[in-house]
């Protein structure tokens, strides 16, 4: 086994720098949205409907006359809020469940795994649409639905690590020293099992952004006039055939750059935290 060449490490570093820059831009948009956006993101102006990009409206206006640049900036808050809350909730619930069902081998653990199998047997969009229809098309409801979809993924990932670690010699040594099951799980196993889960967090945020936009695109996410990237793309897609390209283009690019940001950061986190990622055969 040999380490990756220096050129590859520089490539990973450059990709991480791009991801970090994109993340900083999103944070700036979230914190300073009212100062950055020149117009209200929800106030319609029918007299300025479908104006192309100009000095007055940098990204143009949509069919209701709302400024697209302002809506893209404010939508950063909505999309990242939903995604981060969903992934954080899935992490907080899925990790303890995965830790317990991986540490204890009993019928209850098998039952929980079968429940996860049932959840993951549904197509993501179909299950997401069904749950949002039941809970209602609100921002927090979409975050809850995405958390439910991500919990089995985090639980399975941590369970696989726990199954590998629970038979290691250092766990046997902890048992011999009189450590309780709770102490072994949270002091010895969990810190060593979190590395792949932490990497998955970054990737999952990107997935959540795509799912949030996808649900809104098909009408199962947040509702108008809430500024949300997928909803804006959906509105603009119907106008593309008429040559009105700017309504869908700019929110679509926002989705691309946001997902790219977390994908690049996730790749870098994997390379830093996983020793095997730094080597090649």
Contact 230, 221 (CB under 8 A): yes
Residues found in the chain: 281
Number of domains in the chain: 1
Q: How many angstroms separate the CA atoms of 238 and 27, rounded?
A: 31
How confident is the model at residue 279, as a pLDDT? 41
Query: What's the confidence (pLDDT) of residue 175?
Result: 79
Residue among 31, 35, 127, 47 nearest 80 (CA): 31
The reply to whether 46 falls in a domain is: no
Give strand ranges (E) for the chain: 2-3, 279-280
- Asked, for residue 272, whether it belongs to a domain, the answer is yes
Pick from 165, 149, 164, 171: nearest CA to 94: 149
CA–CA separation, 29 and 114 (whole Å): 42
- Is the residue at 44 inside a domain? no
Question: Is 48 part of a structural domain of the chain?
Answer: no
Q: Which domain holds residue 11?
A: 2-38+59-280
- Answer whether residue 54 is part of any domain: no
The two beta strands, 2-3 and 279-280, are antiparallel
Pairwise CA distance, residues 54 & 69, whole Å:
11
So what's the pLDDT on residue 199? 83
Instruction: Note down pLDDT in tens along the chain; length 281 residues.
Output: 345 555 666 777 788 889 899 999 999 999 999 999 999 988 888 888 889 999 989 999 999 889 999 999 999 999 999 999 999 999 999 999 999 988 888 888 889 888 988 888 888 878 888 888 888 778 888 899 899 999 999 999 999 888 888 878 888 787 788 778 788 888 888 888 888 888 889 889 999 999 999 888 888 888 888 899 999 999 888 888 888 999 999 999 999 999 999 988 888 877 776 655 444 33
Q: Which pLDDT value is given to residue 3?
A: 54
CA-atom Rg of the chain in angstroms: 22
Residue 43 lies in a domain: no
With respect to residue 52, please indicate whether it lies within any of the assigned structural domains. no
List alpha helices for 166-242, DSSP H: 169-176, 181-183, 190-193, 195-217, 229-237
Best CA proximity match to 156, nearest among 102, 93, 88: 102
Computed from CA positions of residues 31, 202, 164, 116, in that sequence, does the dihedral angle turn out positive or negative? positive
- Residue 121 belongs to a domain with what CATH number? 1.10.3720.10
**pLDDT at position 7:** 61
Q: Partners of 279 in the beta sheet?
A: 3
Instruction: Give a yes or no: residue 50 inside a domain.
Output: no
Nearest to 47 by CA among 35, 37, 57: 57
């Amino acid at each position: 086994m040999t380490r990756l060449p220096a050129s590859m490490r520089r490539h990973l570093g450059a990709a991480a720098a791009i991801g970090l820059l994109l993340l900083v831009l999103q944070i700036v948009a979230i914190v300073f949205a009212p100062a950055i956006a020149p117009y209200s993101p929800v106030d319609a102006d029918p007299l300025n409907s479908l104006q192309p990009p100009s000095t007055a409206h940098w990204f143009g206006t949509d069919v209701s006359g709302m400024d697209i640049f302002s809506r893209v900036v404010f939508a950063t808050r909505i999309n990242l809020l939903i995604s981060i809350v969903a992934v954080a909730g899935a992490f907080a619930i899925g990790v303890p469940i995965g830790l317990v069902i991986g540490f204890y081998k009993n019928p209850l653990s098998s039952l929980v795994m079968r429940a996860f199998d049932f959840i993951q047997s549904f197509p993501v969009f179909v299950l997401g649409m069904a749950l949002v229809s039941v809970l209602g098309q609100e921002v927090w409801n979409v975050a809850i639905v995405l958390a439910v979809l991500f919990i089995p993924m985090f639980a399975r990932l941590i369970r696989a690590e726990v199954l590998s670690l629970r038979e290691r010699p250092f766990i046997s040594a902890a048992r011999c020293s009189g450590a309780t099951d709770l102490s072994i799980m949270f002091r010895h196993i969990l810190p060593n099992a979190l590395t792949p889960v932490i990497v998955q967090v970054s990737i999952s945020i990107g997935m959540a952004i795509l799912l949030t936009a996808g649900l809104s695109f098909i009408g199962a996410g947040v509702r108008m006039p809430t500024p949300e990237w997928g909803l804006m793309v959906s509105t603009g897609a119907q106008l593309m055939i008429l040559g009105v390209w700017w309504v869908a283009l700019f929110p679509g690019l926002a989705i691309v750059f946001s997902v790219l940001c977390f994908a690049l950061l996730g790749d870098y986190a994997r390379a830093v935290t996983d020793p095997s990622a730094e080597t090649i055969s």
